[in-house]
Chains A and B, each alone.
Chain A
């Protein structure tokens, strides 16, 4: 499974925009996720939502 990765990494960047910009500057294939804390950063609510998703 790693063969494809080492041949050509295609990246999804989740978080720091700076890393996506660096990847682009290197000519890498990268898409950026403008991540925000789910459920307004309420961790208990996040855990609950994740549980619901799995049902």
Chain B
């Protein structure tokens, strides 16, 4: 193996752009590992850990871009580096041809576009609060996509925003949709009367996509994952609720969050009950009683929240969904799959790109198959000793820092290599009974997630087949027909690879449980 590097002095590029280049180089023949990064101390440390540190990179600084390639030969490595240089040059050329004004600072952009009202910030976390504060000073709402912002900064910014009447979505706010415009990672949804305030990005994407197939979405306001903690106090969720209350386009509301602190839950539920618009609340894994007591409609899953708000919107009685297809069809599908597995295949292995999908699936599976181990466990004692090694029923959130920023890899919603490896690893384990997956579409996400996963899933089935095992794969795709990747086309690619497609993450988790219990979970599922 040969490591080659090239440093481009004073060449700053944003992290998403760099990830995309890195991802493309990774698919070249003979290339083992690539890093296209800004040569910050933290990134240099990652290269050192990966054993791909070079003298040239050692001399580079945080404003220098470094391309590092590990390949089977010097020629292959040089080819990859040239390809990266080409891609960068191409992007520069495209920009020049567009002849669109590009600004150096927020202030200059605001000067040129004085009636702009929202600043979307995705700079490195260490600088995000600074830009956000400036945006608020300029009287603009803020969405902070960046993570790595301290909770102290979050509180300070949200208090400042509240004082000025400005929304602060985030930090770590992955998704928002404002009047049909998707910001960050967002699906293309049908416009309609349902408003969403969500502390979870993928949670918001699932709910919005499902509602888009029904009455449609007015707005999705993201809060960031820490908003409903005691320290932050739900400032953004409360402001978001008020915004939807005052919005004439919004007739019904959905709130999504992990269970908030009791104090914050009380405040949010009280505010929601005073809005006067029918509201569905999903505190994932939380107690539905407090929601009912506030006169609001509780939902157990993301799909449940979507189904209930659709019913309320149509003036109907909200009812839970377990499976969309009829019972006989579901049982037949499950039977067809578990009829082919061996007695020693006993465990579900969930390999997730969306953190909320992983949590939701664990909550469902826990009640149907028992304990689920994870890197993001429901109980501390169920934490995997080693996140790279599954134990019994294991659901892994591959979007966690340990699989992304900490090892210098992009998020699994845009980069599939680590997930592909993990899928093959689980396929080799004779105890694996079912693989359970998600795929997320929309702006920001990978341009063809099903296309990236399908060959791996075929390979996984082949690996199991060589050892006389059959490997069921269950998946759900979060997205809409209007998304750039197109929901139907993505689902077809997975179906063609032998995957059992379910219409929601919750239904996929139930199907996996049904298969692993050889149909035994059926009574528990229908009783719920």
Provide the bound-state CA to CA distance between A5 and B123, in Å. 22
Total CB contacts across the A-B interface at under 8 A: 157
A12-B119, A37-B63 are known contacts. Are A19 and B110 too (CB-CB below 8 A)?
Answer: no
Instruction: Let me know if B183 and A11 touch, CB within 8 A.
Output: yes
Q: Which residues of B contact A4 (CB under 8 A)?
A: 117
Q: Residue of A at shortest CB range from B167? A: A2
Q: Which residues of B contact A41 (CB under 8 A)?
A: 40, 61-63
Q: Residue of B at shortest CB range from A23? A: B181
Q: Which residues of A contact B213 (CB under 8 A)?
A: none
A3-B247, A33-B104 are known contacts. Are A10 and B182 too (CB-CB below 8 A)?
Answer: no
Instruction: Let me know if A14 and B16 touch, CB within 8 A.
Output: no
A2, A18, A50: the one within 8 Å of B246 (CB):
A2
A15, A32, A40, A50: the one within 8 Å of B102 (CB):
A32
Q: Which of B178-212 contact A (CB under 8 A)?
A: 178-184, 188
Per-position binary interface string of chain B over residues 473-507, scored 1 when its CB falls under 8 Å from any chain A CB and 0 otherwise: 00000000000100000000000000000000000
Q: Which residues of A contact B166 (CB under 8 A)?
A: 1
Per-position binary interface string of chain B over residues 116-143, scored 1 when its CB falls under 8 Å from any chain A CB and 0 otherwise: 1111111110110011000100001100
Q: Which residues of A contact B14 (CB under 8 A)?
A: 15-18, 35
B16, B108, B117: the one within 8 Å of A18 (CB):
B16
B108, B121, B239: the one within 8 Å of A15 (CB):
B121
CB distance from A43 to the nearest CB of B (A): 6
B285 at interface by CB-CB < 8 Å: no
Instruction: Let me know if A33 and B63 touch, CB within 8 A.
Output: no
A10-B113, A14-B121 are known contacts. Are A23 and B183 too (CB-CB below 8 A)?
Answer: yes
Instruction: Let me know if A11 and B17 touch, CB within 8 A.
Output: no
Instruction: Let me know if B165 and A1 touch, CB within 8 A.
Output: yes
B324 at interface by CB-CB < 8 Å: no
Provide the bound-state CA to CA distance between A21 and B239, in Å. 29
Provide the bound-state CA to CA distance between A8 and B61, in Å. 41
A3-B246, A14-B121, A22-B182 are known contacts. Are A31 and B165 too (CB-CB below 8 A)?
Answer: no
Provide the bound-state CA to CA distance between A32 and B145, in Å. 15
B428 at interface by CB-CB < 8 Å: no
Q: Residue of A at shortest CB range from B105? A: A33
Instruction: Let me know if A37 and B124 touch, CB within 8 A.
Output: yes
Per-position binary interface string of chain B over residues 91-114, scored 1 when its CB falls under 8 Å from any chain A CB and 0 otherwise: 000000000111111101110110
Q: Which 10 A-B pairs have the closest CB atoms?
A: A15-B122, A1-B165, A41-B62, A2-B243, A22-B443, A16-B16, A16-B122, A9-B178, A15-B123, A10-B116
5 A–B contacts from the bound complex (CB under 8 Å): A10-B116, A12-B135, A14-B123, A22-B182, A26-B188
Supply 6 further A-B pairs (C-beta < 8 A) apart from A9-B118, A14-B106, A26-B180.
A7-B179, A14-B109, A16-B15, A18-B16, A18-B20, A18-B444
Interface residues of B (CB under 8 A from A): 12, 14-17, 20, 40, 61-63, 100-106, 108-110, 112-113, 115-124, 126-127, 130-131, 135, 140-141, 145-146, 164-167, 178-184, 188, 218-219, 239, 242-243, 246-247, 249, 443-444, 484
